Chains A and B, each alone.
Chain A
């Protein structure tokens, strides 16, 4: 069975600094996808970034980047130049493909607080 682990329940970062949110995963599938979602206090789930297991380069999307270390089975989210609006819950998720379709397995999340 696949598993996602986020070991940081909460993180603080000073505005304009970079922060890394950790995510490790466990799977026996050679083909998998890793996703990061942001959940503000309002509750919606916002897709941030994707990393495929066969991607040669680390994914980047604006201020978001993924530090993907396949051998260590980690896919850490890096947020550069933090902004107050980045304060939210962040979830790492893995795509699990089944015979019928696929689903996400989520980690427990990291609550990020950006300080002014």
Chain B
């Protein structure tokens, strides 16, 4: 069964450094997402991406964050200048056409655990 893959599984970065989290969504999916889960808390929406542009972003997704689909397969989340509070699990997800109103779920990757020192 096709799956969403995320790399790396764990990233340790010094505060103030830039970090790029990578995702390969399911190949025929059209909608892409990033979510964040701070340790012990609920999963929070960051951003959605469709047709090569951001569809929606949350208040968490400030100017330090950006997303990109540099080629036909990868979907990246960049944090320009990391802060301690950026430490969290970051999930990439994708869904197919028609998922807005159907039973098609978003498929999640295994996540990247980001630790800011």
Q: Which residues of A contact B (CB under 8 A)?
A: 31, 33, 35, 37, 42-47, 50, 52, 91, 93, 95, 97-98, 100-109
Contacts and interface: CB of A to CB of B under 8 A. Distances in A.
B35 to A, nearest CB: 8
Which of B43, B99, B100, B106 has the most chain A CB atoms closer than 10 A to its own CB?
A: B43
A24 B115 CA distance: 33
Interface string B10-51: 000000000000000000000101010000011111001010
Given A44-B108, A97-B100, A103 B45 contact: yes
B79 interface: no
B41 A108 contact: yes
Interface residues of B, number: 28
Q: Is the interface of B mostly helix, strand, loop or mixed?
A: strand
Contacts of A42: 110
Which of A37, A43, A91 has the most chain B CB atoms closer than 10 A to its own CB?
A: A43
A81 to B, nearest CB: 24
A73 B91 CA distance: 28
A42 to B, nearest CB: 8
Contact of B101 (A97, A98, A108): A97
Contacts of A52: 102-103
A44 to B, nearest CB: 4
Contact of A100 (B50, B89, B106): B50
